[in-house]
Amino acid sequence: MNDEWFGYAAALLTTASFVPQAIMTIRTRNTTGISLAMYVIFTIGVALWLVYGIALGSGPMMVANTVTLALAATILALKIRYG
C-alpha cells in the first residue's frame, strides 16, 4: 500500500469532522458558541497548510485543505455576519 493512502485517509477523516459543524451553522445561523479569534487563526492556518501542500505537490494535503478551508471560511463568514 502506498504511504500516500494514509494521507488521504487522514485527510478524509479530519476534513469530514468539519462537515457537521458547517451544516449546523449554515442551517441555524447560530454562531454564539464559536470563537471568532479561533476561527480567524484556524482559517489562516488552513490556508497556509494548503499553500504548503501545493508547494510539496501533496495530493492529500491539497484536497483536505481545500475542502477544510472552504468549510472553515464559511463558518467564519457566518460568525462575522451573525456573531
Q: Write down the pLDDT at residue 52.
A: 96
What is the full per-residue pLDDT of the chain (83 aa) written as tens digits? 678 888 889 889 988 998 998 899 999 999 999 999 999 999 999 999 999 999 999 998 999 999 999 999 999 999 999 87
Task: Quickly tell me which residue has 479569534 as its cell.
Answer: 37
Domain ranges (residues) in the chain: 4-82
Cα 44 to chain centroid distance, Å, stands at: 10
Residues recorded for the chain: 83
Radius of gyration of the chain (CA): 14
CA distance 22 to 74: 7
Which DSSP category does 31 fall into? -
d(CA 44, CA 73): 9
Just give the CATH number of 4-82.
Answer: 1.20.1280.290
